Amino acid sequence: MKKFLVIAVFALGTTLQAQDRTSADQTAPQERFIQGEDGWVRYEAYHSNGSVRESGTFLHGKREGTWRQYDAQGQETAQVQFQNDQLHGRAMVSNVDGTVKYRLSYTHGLLEKGEQLDRFGEVVAVVEAP
């Protein structure tokens, strides 16, 4: 059970740096920030092959809304919800084959419930907040 929590927190707990960076050969961006209106900024980070690695939005410098992570082939590997820079709402982490590995629920940054699923989609472990 502890292994499940460590993996889930590691997979979802990465912090992003707000910097524009390009690859060493200066041909492909590593990160891109697209300024929107009313404090919104769209963020994209890229794999070395140019495919999107991560995408999401900031509102006044804080993560807000749906953030997604992708593997180098473009398959979505994680989807999380943020509110005011904290995990809030549903989150999912996928296996390489696209099946859901973890389903998580957060409230204001705190894990409320976590489920680990087997390759058939059956729940094999559950963690709930006290």
Q: Which token pair is 121?
A: 């989609």
pLDDT band at 130 (very low <50, low <70, confident <90, very high): confident
Q: Looking at the domain assignment, is residue 24 inside a domain?
A: no
13 inside domain = no
**Cα 119 to Cα 100: distance, rounded to the nearest angstrom:** 8
Its domain, for residue 39, covers 2-8+31-128
The overall pTM is greater than 0.75? yes
CATH number for the domain that contains residue 124: 3.90.930.1
Q: How many domains does one find in the chain?
A: 1
Question: Has residue 81 been placed in a domain?
Answer: yes
Is 88 part of any domain?
A: yes
Query: Is the CB of residue 1 less than 8 Å from the CB of residue 127?
Result: yes
Q: What is the pLDDT of residue 18?
A: 39
Residue 116 lies in a domain: yes
Q: Which residues are registered as beta bridge partners of 100?
A: 94
| The two three-digit tokens of residue 109, written as one number | 């940054």
**CA separation (Å) from 33 to 19, 25, 30, 56, 105?**
8, 20, 11, 10, 28
Tokens 């995990």 correspond to 87
Q: pLDDT tens, 64-89? A: 999 999 999 999 999 999 999 999 99
